[in-house]
Amino acid sequence: MCGIVGYIGKRDVVSVLLKGLTNLEYRGYDSAGMALQDCGEIKIYKTLGKLVNLKNELENKKSELKHPSSGIGHIRWATHGSPSLVNAHPHTCSCGKLVVVHNGIIENYKELREELIKKGCVFRSQTDTETIAHLVADEYANTKNLEEAVRNSVKKLQGAYAVCVIHKDAPDIIVGARKHAPMLVGIGDGENFIASDTPAIIEYTKRTIYLDDNEIAVISQNSVKVTDINGHEVIKKVETLPWEPVALSKLGFKHFMLKEIYEQSDVIRNLLNGKLYDIDECVKLDEVKIDKEILKNLNKIEIIACGTSLHAALAGKYIIEDFAGISVEVEASSEYIYRKTTTNASTLVIGVSQSGETADTITAIKQAKAKNSHVLIITNRPDSNMARLADSLIPVNAGIEVSVAATKSYTAQLISFYLLAIHLAEIKGSMEKSYLKNIKHELIQLPSKIEEILSNTSNIKECARKYSSYKNFIYIARGINLATAYEGALKLKEISYINATGYPAGELKHGPIAMLDETMPVLSILMPGGITYEKVLSNSEEAKARNAKLIALTSSDDKNIDALFDVVIRIPKISEILSPALTCVPLQLLAYYIAEFLGKDVDQPRNLAKSVTVE
């Protein structure tokens, strides 16, 4: 949450910072702000709400600016203190000479704040961040060295921070520091950048240094220096970013979410490429770096994730248990980290995360590593902190996902689980070869089946139009599509703010059925030929008997349901075990179109941020 960007160099500083913040806006949009070093003065601009307000403010005030030489910018996802102008970053020390932007949470800010108030500091906001500004200024008063002042200050901070600091009296440098929150340096020619994430700098440079916890970076126009918490210089590897700027374009689609939904067939092709060529050959998953003998005897897997990634993990459980016969536990990272787990050296722990930056999942992974488990990370960001913790890494290669609502990364995570499960089954010999051949055949056909769904969405649009005024929805399924029901309901909730809940269909009559009447649409996911089909059909009948409106999501060969359901959405015929890779697509579209009809901000839904970097 929160995005930071800093720039020092010859370009138009305001434009570089605004561009960087635009590409980071998925991290938060409660407020935006910027501090500029402008010919001996520090000028600060802040606005409430989205970045466009800051852009307008700067446009209106551009005559105030002489020639800014560097600056730091911020977009906020509020944690401490409401989203207000006074709480918007940047924050300053009492005299206004030292300015700070921050992502993270300072857990001991109250104690520090009290001490600083006693020393005469004047606090203006309710944020934890302002404490950092006063603390560094206090240290600077003694050291007169900004790098030292930041180092001495961060030693006193508990919690998570990625922080950038500038000082009026040190106009040639920007100092950054991080702990448990992402931060990287972008290296240019006669210019340098510092940011929370790569999209902020991709337009300008691909050369990057990833800071590690407790490191401090000092950037000037022509130099970058990284030191550890004790002041020893650290020689960092310069890495080349894999992304192209075009990845951040909507390419003619109205929203990133729609573009990302339409990218899913290519994402799957990409992911299968090099791993699954031929149905007669074994899946190649060289990324899994565990001895084959150990894999053969593996009897427990734990999967940890949050949100949409957690739903992919749930589908992953069904797939691995079905193909490889290994027992799989799935748990929300935020729960895993607060209980005594039975994870041990013989457990394979899989962390799933689009961003690779989700704080709860990172903490959970660290705990699993401390218990000597082999950690496999499935992520869309091989350049992330989580990826750096991995013993084995499956990059899902979905390309940058900008929309806050995850879509293509979910499908890519699902496909990764199919490949992993087949790989395990092939090592263990747990499945008939002919069965696996059929699965591989179906996997290879998935992209064209997704294209078939996307080529005609009028039925889904019509369903969205019909039901967009309803306030509550229930999604039901059994078996592997339970994950789809949860994910479909989450998509609807997060972008349209409609109350939607996924339930195992068999659970309906154990309570939720009490809510049903003509105001509550029930969406049933049915897979003809699958083991759960008849049961979900009966559960749908039960809902109909309570006057609920019924929507079916089924396959093209389902002939006997039109009479029961008010709307039927069809996908191409597919086996039940593989169906989640298709059933998720109409549900993403249904959520998208409903949100569109309601005029919601599809790509940046309220209260959310794409990377949840605080626990």
Which residues sit at the interface with ligand M6R, rule CB under 6 A?
A: 306-309, 353-355, 358, 361, 404-406, 494, 608, 612
Tell me whether residue 31 or residue 354 sits nearer to ligand M6R (CB atom): 354
DSSP letter at 221 equals S
CB of 601 to ligand M6R, least distance (A): 14
Query: In the complex with ligand M6R, which residue's Cβ is closer, 70 or 384?
Result: 384
CA–CA dist 312, 318 (Å, integer): 10
Closest contact distance (angstroms) between CB of 332 and ligand M6R is 10
Nearer to ligand M6R, 565 or 592 (CB): 592
Annotation marks residue 449 as catalytic: no
CB of 408 to ligand M6R, least distance (A): 11
As separate numbers, helices (DSSP H) first and strands (DSSP E) second, the chain gives 18, 24
Burial of 417 (0-12, 13-18, 19+ CB in 10 A): buried
Least CB distance to ligand M6R at residue 473 (A) = 17
Whole-number minimum distance, CB 139 to ligand M6R, in Å? 35
Please say which residue, 25 or 494, places its beta carbon nearer to ligand M6R.
Answer: 494
For residue 445, give both structure tokens: 């056909």
14/386 with CB nearer ligand M6R: 386
Residue 362, C-beta contacts closer than 8 angstroms, at least 6 positions apart: 180, 385, 386, 389
Of 431 and 523, which has the nearer Cβ to ligand M6R? 523
Widest pairwise Cα distance in the chain = 80
Beta-bridge partners for 332:
305
User: Rounded CA gap, 30 and 75, in Å?
Assistant: 7
Among residues 179, 493, 549, 610, which one is catalytic?
Answer: 610
> Which position has the token pair 């448990």?
180
Token pair for 124: 């203006």
Residue 162 to residue 167: CA distance in whole angstroms: 17
Contacts (Cβ under 8 Å, ≥6 apart) of 509: 539, 542
Pick between residue 18 and residue 404 the one whose CB is nearest to ligand M6R: 404
CB 227 within 8 A of CB 215: yes
Minimum CB distance to ligand M6R, residue 307 (Å): 2
Nearest to residue 310, comparing CAs of 612, 54, 3?
Answer: 612
Q: Which of 2, 93, 121, 463 is catalytic?
A: 2
Residue closer to ligand M6R by CB (options 309, 457) is 309
Q: Measure the CA angle with vertex 13, ends 7 and 15; round to 5°.
A: 115
CB-side exposure of 453: number of CA atoms within 13 Å? Answer: 32
DSSP state of 579: T
Taking the C-alpha atoms of residue 426 and residue 433, their distance in angstroms, rounded to an integer, is: 8
Shortest Cβ 605–ligand M6R spacing (Å): 8
Pick between residue 125 and residue 361 the one whose CB is nearest to ligand M6R.
Answer: 361
Distance CA 51, CA 58 (A): 11
CB of 520 to ligand M6R, least distance (A): 23
Rounded to a whole number of angstroms, the minimum distance from the CB of residue 608 to ligand M6R is: 6
CB 471 within 8 A of CB 498: yes
Q: How far is the CB of 6 from ligand M6R (least distance, A)?
A: 24
Torsion of CA 338, 341, 346, 349, to 10 degrees: -40
Which residue's CB atom is positioned nearest to ligand M6R?
Answer: 307
- Write a three-state SS string for 351-412: EEECCCCCHHHHHHHHHHHHCCCEEEEEECCCCCHHHHHCCEEEECCCCCCCCCCCCHHHHH
**Is 584 annotated as catalytic?**
no
Closer by beta carbon to ligand M6R, 225 or else 388: 388
Q: How far apart are CA 581 and CA 571, in angstroms?
A: 11
Token pair for residue 245?
């700027």
Question: SS3 for 216?
Answer: strand
Give min distance, CB of 428 to ligand M6R, in A: 28
CA distances from 570 to 339, 542, 585 (A): 42, 22, 11
The residue (of 130 and 357) whose beta carbon lies closer to ligand M6R is 357
Distance CA 164, CA 72 (A): 7
- Please answer whether residues 141 and 118 qualify as being in contact, where contact means their C-beta atoms are separated by less than 8 angstroms: no
Residues involved in catalysis: 2, 610
